[in-house]
Amino acid sequence: MDEVNILQRVSKVTTDEDLRRLLDDLHRGNVTPDAAHAALREYLRHLPYEDLGFARVDHHRPIRQGWPEVVFGVGKTPAEIAGIATAIVSRGQSLLVTRTDQAAYHEVRAVVPGAILHATARAITFAQNDIPKGRGTIVIAAAGTSDLPVAEEAAVTAELLGNDVDRLYDVGVAGIHRLLHEHERLRAGRVVIAVAGMEGALPSVIGGLVQVPVIAVPTSVGYGASFGGIAALLAMLNSCAASVAVVNIDNGFGAAAVASQINHL
């Protein structure tokens, strides 16, 4: 393998396994010491982060945590998001931009042609490299249609992290028969993400029906006394169901990240 080819290959090294394969090739004589040295210098030049001036992209995160840095789109210009996306994708890592919009997508699509916009989730994704599969299914239950942006953020994130996802939408407790009708699908999940605004009762009900962890996501949906999701947050924190854990208001991404870790155990 010549030096040009090995340099192209090493640009996609993002995990310990990738590094091991490179060293195995060196040991077998498929790569010359000079080519491996040049390739590793190029790889290490961007570790642990790459300074873009306006952002420091953490290329070392897949090695530390198992998945690449995620881009939070709020407060960033479309050009900045595209610049960060270029840096992430060029290192062979998958891309996830949360809380973004069509304007940012146009900029990202210009530099990452295969990028996908998930309009309801307000997310941009681009999957590459081998993503380890989760052991089971993550069930995402959303109380109402107004909760779907947060639920879909969780679903898109979970899928990008290598998980099978089963969506149960519009199963809030105001019509609890809708939820009970899907009892078997709930029980089939290895972990459940329950997304609800208003009074936030859905996670407690689900927690009493299943024997797996339930990650509760309060949303900012509701009338004035919901206080932008604080009422749902407090209700979920006070759940009497022992298996319920709670993330921050509207944090679909955070719920999916924890659920994925559970599903990969």
Confidence band for 231, pLDDT divided at 50, 70 and 90: very high
For the chain, percent helix, then strand, then coil, each to nearest 5? Answer: 45, 15, 35
Query: What does the H/E/C string look like for 131-171?
Result: CCCCCCEEEEEECCHHHHHHHHHHHHHHHHCCCEEEEEECC
pLDDT over 70 percentage in the chain: 90
Distance CA(10)–CA(256), nearest Å, equals 30
Whether 251 has a pLDDT exceeding 70, the answer reads: yes
Asked if 179 and 256 sit in the same domain, the reply is yes
Tokens of 137: 């299914």
Asked if 259 and 141 sit in the same domain, the reply is yes
What was the pLDDT predicted at 47?
A: 67
- Indicate the residue among 13, 28, 45 that finishes a domain: 45
In a domain, 132, yes or no: no
HSE of 76, CA atoms in CB hemisphere, 13 A: 23
Asked if 73 and 165 sit in the same domain, the reply is no
- Read off the pLDDT of each residue in 130-145 and give the average, rounded to a whole number: 93
What was the pLDDT predicted at 59?
A: 85
Number of domains forming the structure of the chain? 3
Hunting for tokens 């306006």 — which residue is that? Answer: 54
Asked if 161 and 252 sit in the same domain, the reply is yes
Asked if 145 and 246 sit in the same domain, the reply is yes
| Largest Cα span, the chain | 69
Asked if 171 and 205 sit in the same domain, the reply is yes
Confidence band for 95, pLDDT divided at 50, 70 and 90: very high
Confidence band for 46, pLDDT divided at 50, 70 and 90: low
In a domain, 131, yes or no: no
**pLDDT digit string, tens, across residues 72-92:** 999 999 999 999 999 999 888
- Read off the pLDDT of each residue in 232-242 and give the average, rounded to a whole number: 95
- Indicate the residue among 78, 103, 126 that finishes a domain: 126
Whether 201 has a pLDDT exceeding 90, the answer reads: yes
pLDDT over 90 percentage in the chain: 72
Asked if 218 and 256 sit in the same domain, the reply is yes
What was the pLDDT predicted at 85?
A: 96
- Read off the pLDDT of each residue in 50-66 and give the average, rounded to a whole number: 85
Domain that holds residue 122: 50-126
Asked if 201 and 259 sit in the same domain, the reply is yes
Asked if 12 and 55 sit in the same domain, the reply is no
Asked if 120 and 149 sit in the same domain, the reply is no
Asked if 116 and 142 sit in the same domain, the reply is no
Asked if 91 and 194 sit in the same domain, the reply is no
Whether 13 has a pLDDT exceeding 60, the answer reads: no
